[in-house]
Amino acid sequence: MTDARAHLYVSGMVQGVGYRYFAIRKASSYGINGFAKNLADGRVEIVAEGDRGIVEEFIKDLKRGPISAHVSDVRIEWDKPTFEFSGFQGL
């Protein structure tokens, strides 16, 4: 059941280190819909929709990231899902 939407901004050494690929892989394994994309300011923007508990587990993974990344901050805004996504994509 999709009952949560998290809009995240991830800061740190998260571009050029496989972070988006890591997020896509993890989201797909959880069955989360949404996207991950690099921003011009060096952050990664992620929108994740799914069951609240599963999205929270996904966020724990995002805070760790792949071994090549260094996550310094994750800003999270919770909202109601919009159901506009089918699967999880890297943009």
- 18-39: pLDDT as tens digits: 999 999 999 999 999 999 999 9
Question: How far apart are the C-alpha atoms of 18 and 27, rounded to whole Å?
Answer: 14
- Name the active-site residue from 5, 20, 33, 43: 20
20 included as an active-site residue: yes
Which amino acid is residue 11, in one-letter code? S
pTM above 0.85, yes or no: yes
The pair of structure tokens assigned to 84 is: 């506009």
Share of the chain above pLDDT 90, in %: 97
Q: What is the mean pLDDT of the chain?
A: 96
Spell out the domain ranges in the chain.
4-84
- Reported in sequence order, the residue ranges of 28-69 that DSSP labels E, i.e. its strands, are 33-38, 44-50
- 72-82: pLDDT as tens digits: 999 999 999 99
- 36-51: pLDDT as tens digits: 999 999 999 999 999 9
33 included as an active-site residue: no
- Name the active-site residue from 5, 25, 33, 38: 38
Task: Decide if domain 4-84 falls under CATH 3.30.70.100.
Answer: yes
